[in-house]
Amino acid sequence: MSEKKFDYFIQGEKNNWEVIIGLEVHAQISSQSKLFSSSSTKFGAEPNTQVSLVDSAFPGMLPVINQYCIEQSIKTGLGLKAKINHYSVFDRKNYFYADLPQGYQISQYKNPIVGEGEVFLDMPYGIKKIRIERLHLEQDAGKSIHDLDPDNTYVDLNRSGIALMEIVSKPDLRSPEEVSVYVKKLRSIMKYLGTCDGNMQEGSLRADVNVSVRKIGDKKFGTRCEIKNVNSIKFMQLAIQYEAKRQIEILEENKKIDQETRLYDTKKNETRSMRSKEDAHDYRYFPDPDLLPLNLNKDLIEKIRKDLPELPDQKKDRFIKDYSLSSYEANVLVSEKEISDYFEEVVKTSDKKLATNWIIGDLFASLNEKNIQISDSLVTAKKMAQLVNSITSGIISGRTAKEVFEIMKESGDDPNKIIESKGLQQQSNPKELEKIITKVIESNKDKVEQFKTGKDKLFGFFVGQTMKLSGGKANPQLVNDILKKKLK
Partner 1 sequence: MKDLSKNTLCRLISGIKKKDFSSEEITKSFINNSQKAKKLNTFITTNFDKALEDAKNFDKKKNFEGLLSGIPIAVKDLFCTKDVKTTAGSKMLSNFVPTYESTVTSNLWKEGAFLLGKLNCDEFAMGSSNETSFFGNVYNPYGDNLIPGGSSGGSASALAASLTPATIGTDTGGSIRQPASFTGTVGLKPTYGRCSRWGIVAFASSLDQAGPMTQNVEDCALLLEAMSGYDPKDSTSAKIKVDHYSKNLNEKIKGLKVGIPKEYRVDNMPDEIDALWKRGVEFLKDAGAIIKDITLPHTKYALPSYYIVAPAEASSNLARYDGVKYGHRSKGNNLIEMYENTRSEGFGDEVKRRILIGTYVLSSGYYDAYYIKAQKVRQLIKNDFDEAFKNVDAVLTPSTPSAAFKAGDKKDDPISMYLNDVFTVPVNLAGLPAISVPAGYDKNKLPLGLQLIGKAFDEQTILNLSLAIEKRAGFKKEINNWWKS
Which residues are near partner 1 by CB under 8 A? Answer: 53, 56-65, 92, 94, 96-98, 101-104, 153, 155, 282, 284-286, 289-292
> 285 or 461, CB closer to partner 1?
285
Spatial separation of the C-alpha atoms in residues 179 and 219, rounded to whole Å: 21
Minimum gap (Å) between residue 376 Cβ and partner 1: 41
Spatial separation of the C-alpha atoms in residues 254 and 13, rounded to whole Å: 12
Give the Cβ contact number of residue 163 at 10 Å: 26
Minimum gap (Å) between residue 301 Cβ and partner 1: 21
Structural element, H or E, at residue 183: helix 176-193
Q: Amino acid identity of 359?
A: I
Spatial separation of the C-alpha atoms in residues 430 and 466, rounded to whole Å: 13
> 293 or 398, CB closer to partner 1?
293
Nearest to 280 by CA among 296, 299, 258: 258
> 104 or 343, CB closer to partner 1?
104
> 8 or 97, CB closer to partner 1?
97
Minimum gap (Å) between residue 57 Cβ and partner 1: 4
The answer to whether 128 and 178 have CB atoms below 8 angstroms apart is: yes
Instruction: Rounding to the nearest 10 degrees, give the CA dihedral for residues 184, 231, 117, 321.
Output: -10
Spatial separation of the C-alpha atoms in residues 76 and 194, rounded to whole Å: 9
Spatial separation of the C-alpha atoms in residues 135 and 269, rounded to whole Å: 30
Q: Concatenated DSSP letters for 44-110? A: TPPTTSS--TTTTT-TT------HHHHHHHHHHHHHTT-PBPSEE--EEEE---TT-TTSEEEE--S
Minimum gap (Å) between residue 53 Cβ and partner 1: 6
Nearest to 63 by CA among 36, 39, 40: 36
Give the Cβ contact number of residue 290 at 10 Å: 13
> 56 or 350, CB closer to partner 1?
56
Minimum gap (Å) between residue 58 Cβ and partner 1: 7
Spatial separation of the C-alpha atoms in residues 263 and 274, rounded to whole Å: 6
Which phi and psi (to 5°) does residue 36 adopt? -130, 15
Distance (Å) of CA 30 to CA 191, 199, 201, 314, 393: 10, 11, 15, 23, 44
> 65 or 448, CB closer to partner 1?
65
Minimum gap (Å) between residue 363 Cβ and partner 1: 50
Minimum gap (Å) between residue 292 Cβ and partner 1: 6
Burial class (CB in 10 A: 0-12, 13-18, 19+), 201: exposed
> 160 or 465, CB closer to partner 1?
160
Minimum gap (Å) between residue 344 Cβ and partner 1: 43
Nearest to 117 by CA among 64, 80, 162, 142: 80
Minimum gap (Å) between residue 41 Cβ and partner 1: 20
> 144 or 373, CB closer to partner 1?
144
Minimum gap (Å) between residue 98 Cβ and partner 1: 5
> 96 or 488, CB closer to partner 1?
96
> Strand 260-265 to strand 225-230: parallel, antiparallel, or no bridges (unpaired)?
parallel
Nearest to 293 by CA among 85, 62, 134: 85
Minimum gap (Å) between residue 101 Cβ and partner 1: 6
Burial class (CB in 10 A: 0-12, 13-18, 19+), 94: middle
> 54 or 251, CB closer to partner 1?
54
Minimum gap (Å) between residue 54 Cβ and partner 1: 9
> 289 or 454, CB closer to partner 1?
289
Q: Concatenated DSSP letters for 185-219? A: HHHHHHHHHTS----TTTTSEEEEEEEEEEETT--
> 62 or 216, CB closer to partner 1?
62
